[in-house]
Amino acid sequence: MDKITAFRQRNPVAIATSIGQRLRTFRLAKGWTQEELAERSGVALSTLKLFEAKGQGSLQRLIRISVALGIDGDVGELGFGHFH
């Protein structure tokens, strides 16, 4: 299967949701509430909730959350690693 066909078969919504779930997992591993991560990252609580629940939000905010969690050095930690 060529790369274009493989890309089209992936579900972007499922990938985004998976990333949101991984963010939640990292947050919980640190023992942080959503409010605490929102404050540390400078991202609105409502935005953080959307990221965790549905993977919805901007790339800029995703980066801010990742930096606050200390996982910005390895994008694969968010779940991209298995989507090659």
Return the pLDDT at 62: 92
Return the pLDDT at 6: 59
Return the pLDDT at 8: 59
Rounded to an integer, what distance in angstroms lies between the CA atom of residue 78 and that of residue 12? 14
What are 35-84's pLDDT values in tens digits? 999 999 999 999 999 999 999 999 999 999 999 999 877 655 565 544 43
Burial (0-12, 13-18, 19+ Cβ within 10 Å), 35: exposed
Confidence of residue 15 (pLDDT cuts 50, 70, 90): confident
Rounded to an integer, what distance in angstroms lies between the CA atom of residue 45 and that of residue 33? 10
